[in-house]
């Protein structure tokens, strides 16, 4: 019914235009009904006069009409992303009147219960109604249809909203975004000028440091290391050099890189399908397919990162204990250094993204939906930059996160805060420490189950059949440390096991190794594809979904834990050789910056689009690899400017 109403709405508003017998459409509403501003009414009258007299050499009205939405091709395939002609509208300027083009994009909401069956609009399209009432969607689509109109610039945003609404059809405009040429190309703000100055200074420092390195490092023996901290030459040599590793944890490099690939796949799919698409029906069909679960469940890669993070914390600490023969004490200074190291490692690259997002993002593109970037990414970072840099966004301003995908860093940093206490317990009270870790893991799983059951959450990230909204899913389960902690806690235990010599010297027979490998891979596949029925079935099973939410992450993490243990104890075979390839060691250096950059790049490309995109698995794959390579290229710059210099400075600070 929503499709039917939207089609009739477009027919009755856009196509009912007759210069000589004009009885329908937006212009009729504006001229006959006193519901818009006076200046807008006058402009609309001039619009009609210019349109009906052909305008001679001034065809601004025809250009406005041409730039507005029409009935799109393929509307029965859910082509609801009609955007009109953005650039054409903004370039319109009347030669005879003070009239310029204003582009307005509205989100159309349809309330079928409010339709007036006696309306002339409905009656004039009875045949279409008879045919189209047979069409059913069967699910609730993500988002609402959009409609663009090009109107005179002295009409207000509220005028545009009223012009696009149609109470007789139960059609209202939830929100409207209007842009003029001045909005699209704004002047630099004070914040933007400061940002450009700061970034220019940083680039200058990099250039001077590189020049100092190339010209004087071989001539001056005691050249202070701080002068070389920003050197592209010095940092580049370290970055592109792949040293031989003696560590038995080299498989972690491959796991990290593959997890990053999976995360980019997830976000490529979610952002691509959230933008204007000309065949949303194909998205519905693909999302209900079995193979779509590879994209939808890509967030399990974050659990791989969590278990790797937990593993490294305990492994490094207890290896250090072995070197110091158990005398490495967790003193106050050691704990502070522990925290400072982590903060300095993560924050500079993140601060760079936050800084650019808060000040310069609006100047990096334009398009019908570009204000979404400004109103969300930029405004959120202007207000809540501090919570992003304190890693507490998933607690205090969940609905207005700056750099939204940094939620993972919040979870990781909050868990890391408790690591000194956990390490002390494992060293001094080993059995008690392991008991607490197991209990906390079970508690986290219980919280996931309870929230999933109470809030009626879907087991997988889809709003097609879920009882609750995606915001509830994100705010009560997906972003929360207490529901994501189990993989990290498993990693803590795994790292402790791997640091002990007696555990790493265990040798298992092939009769045990092969079944466990198959079991582990089977559990992984079950976690990825097992929720398919939860996604595609209209019936909602509360207990099943809650149980899935409680078990999917621990189960997947346990399988990853086996992979790490097997590869670290020479039980990995071909898989260990694959994950330990030198190329992964190289790519691993860019993973963090890629994670920070790729989502912003995705949104910038999608919301700068001037027309709807076409969805297919081929285009999605093409899109994914393009985003991956672009993110990789930009991450090289980000590492050289933000990561590597701070690592060099940190080394200088701690060595002194």
pLDDT digits (tens, 9 = 90+) for 113-126: 655 555 554 554 44
This model's pTM is above 0.85: yes
Partnered with residue 105 across adjacent β-strands are 148, 177
pLDDT at 304: 97
pLDDT at 132: 41
Confidence of residue 466 (pLDDT cuts 50, 70, 90): low
CA distance linking residue 218 with residue 513, whole number of Å = 54
Q: Is the pLDDT of residue 357 over 60?
A: yes
Helix ranges restricted to H, 360-480 = 370-372, 379-389, 393-396, 407-417, 419-428, 430-454, 470-473
pLDDT at 20: 40
Percent of the chain beyond pLDDT 90? 49
Confidence of residue 201 (pLDDT cuts 50, 70, 90): very high
CA distance linking residue 210 with residue 204, whole number of Å = 10
Mean pLDDT of 258-278: 91
CA distance linking residue 494 with residue 489, whole number of Å = 9
Give the C-alpha distances (Å, rounded to integers) separating 364 from 90, 446, 571: 18, 45, 50
Q: In degrees rounded to 5, what are phi and psi of residue 150?
A: -110, 120
CA distance linking residue 561 with residue 576, whole number of Å = 13
pLDDT at 245: 65
More confident residue, 539 or 30: 539
pLDDT at 135: 42
Instruction: Find the helix or strand (DSSP H, E) in which 107 lies.
Output: strand 101-110
pLDDT at 500: 80
Highest mean pLDDT among 289-293, 463-467, 629-633 belongs to: 629-633
Residue with tokens 């406005």: 64
Structure tokens at 498: 């791997």
pLDDT at 324: 66
Confidence of residue 127 (pLDDT cuts 50, 70, 90): very low
Q: Rg for the chain (alpha carbons), in Å?
A: 29
pLDDT at 25: 52
Q: For the chain, what are the domain ranges?
A: 2-184, 242-655
List pLDDT tens digits, range 147-186: 899 999 999 999 998 888 877 666 778 889 999 998 888 8
Confidence of residue 278 (pLDDT cuts 50, 70, 90): confident
Q: In degrees rounded to 5, what are phi and psi of residue 218?
A: -90, -10
Helix (H, G, I), strand (E, B) or coil at 141: coil
Q: Is the pLDDT of residue 53 over 90?
A: no
Confidence of residue 37 (pLDDT cuts 50, 70, 90): confident
Q: Is the pLDDT of residue 16 over 50?
A: no
Burial class (CB in 10 A: 0-12, 13-18, 19+), 444: buried
Residues 6+ apart with CB under 8 A from 587: 253, 257, 632
CA distance linking residue 169 with residue 331, whole number of Å = 71
> 13-17, 20-24, 568-572, 593-597: which range is least confident on average?
20-24
């Amino acid at each position: 019914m929503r499709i039917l109403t939207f089609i009739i709405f477009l027919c009755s508003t856009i196509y009912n235009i007759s210069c000589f017998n004009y009885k329908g459409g937006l212009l009729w509403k504006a001229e006959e009904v006193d519901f818009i501003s006076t200046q807008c009414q006058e402009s609309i009258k001039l619009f009609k006069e210019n349109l009906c007299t052909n305008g001679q050499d001034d065809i601004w009205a025809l250009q406005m009409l041409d730039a507005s939405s029409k009935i799109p091709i393929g509307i029965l395939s859910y082509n609801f992303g009609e955007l009109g002609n953005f650039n054409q509208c903004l370039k319109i300027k009347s030669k005879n009147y003070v009239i310029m083009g204003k582009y307005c994009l509205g989100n159309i909401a349809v309330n079928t219960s409010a339709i007036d069956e006696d309306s002339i609009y409905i009656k004039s399209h009875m045949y279409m109604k008879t045919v189209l009432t047979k069409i059913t969607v069967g699910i609730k689509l993500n988002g609402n249809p959009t409609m663009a109109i090009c109107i005179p610039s002295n009409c207000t945003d509220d005028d545009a909203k009223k012009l696009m609404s149609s109470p007789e059809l139960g059609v209202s405009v939830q929100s409207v975004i209007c842009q003029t040429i001045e909005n699209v190309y704004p002047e630099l703000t004070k914040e933007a000028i400061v940002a450009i100055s700061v970034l220019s200074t940083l680039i200058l420092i990099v250039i001077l440091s590189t020049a100092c390195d190339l010209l004087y490092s071989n001539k001056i023996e005691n050249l202070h290391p701080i002068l070389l901290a920003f050197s592209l030459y010095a940092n580049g040599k370290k970055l592109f050099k792949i040293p031989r590793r003696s560590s038995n944890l080299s498989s972690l490099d491959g796991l990290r890189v593959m997890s990053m690939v999976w995360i980019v796949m997830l976000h490529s799919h979610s952002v691509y399908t959230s933008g204007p698409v000309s065949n949303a029906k194909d998205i519905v069909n693909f999302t209900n397919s079995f193979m779509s679960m590879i994209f939808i469940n890509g967030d399990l890669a974050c659990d791989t990162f969590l278990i790797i993070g937990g593993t490294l914390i305990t492994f490094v600490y207890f290896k250090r204990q072995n070197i110091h023969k158990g005398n490495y004490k967790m003193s106050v200074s050691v704990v502070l250094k522990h925290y400072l190291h982590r903060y300095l490692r993560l924050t500079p690259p993140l601060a760079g993204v936050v800084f650019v997002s808060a000040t310069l993002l609006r100047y990096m593109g334009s398009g019908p939906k570009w204000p979404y970037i400004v109103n969300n990414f930029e405004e959120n970072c202007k207000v809540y930059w501090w919570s992003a840099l304190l890693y507490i966004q998933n607690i205090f301003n969940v609905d207005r996160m700056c750099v939204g995908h940094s939620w993972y860093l919040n979870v990781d940093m909050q868990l890391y805060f408790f690591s000194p206490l956990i390490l002390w317990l494992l060293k001094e009270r080993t059995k008690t420490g392991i008991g607490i870790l197991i209990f906390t893991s079970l508690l986290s799983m219980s919280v996931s189950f309870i929230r999933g059951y109470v809030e009626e959450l879907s087991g997988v990230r889809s709003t097609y059949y879920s009882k609750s909204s995606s915001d509830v899913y994100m705010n009560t389960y997906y972003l929360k440390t207490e529901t994501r902690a189990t993989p990290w806690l498993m990693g803590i235990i795994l790292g402790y096991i791997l640091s002990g010599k007696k555990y790493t010297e265990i040798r298992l027979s092939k009769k045990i190794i092969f079944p466990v490998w198959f079991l582990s891979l089977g559990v992984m596949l079950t976690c990825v594809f097992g929720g398919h029925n939860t996604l595609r079935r209209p019936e909602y099973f509360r207990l099943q979904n809650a149980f899935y939410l409680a078990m999917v992450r621990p189960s997947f993490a346990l399988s990853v834990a086996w992979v790490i243990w097997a590869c670290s104890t020479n039980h990995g075979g071909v898989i260990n050789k694959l994950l330990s390839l030198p190329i992964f060691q190289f790519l691993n250096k860019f993973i963090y910056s890629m994670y920070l950059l790729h989502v912003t790049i995705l949104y910038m490309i999608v919301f700068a689009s001037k027309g709807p995109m076409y969805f297919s698995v081929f285009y999605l794959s093409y899109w994914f690899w393009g985003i991956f390579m672009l993110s990789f290229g930009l991450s090289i710059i980000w590492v050289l400017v933000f990561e590597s210099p701070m690592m060099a400075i940190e080394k200088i600070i701690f060595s002194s």
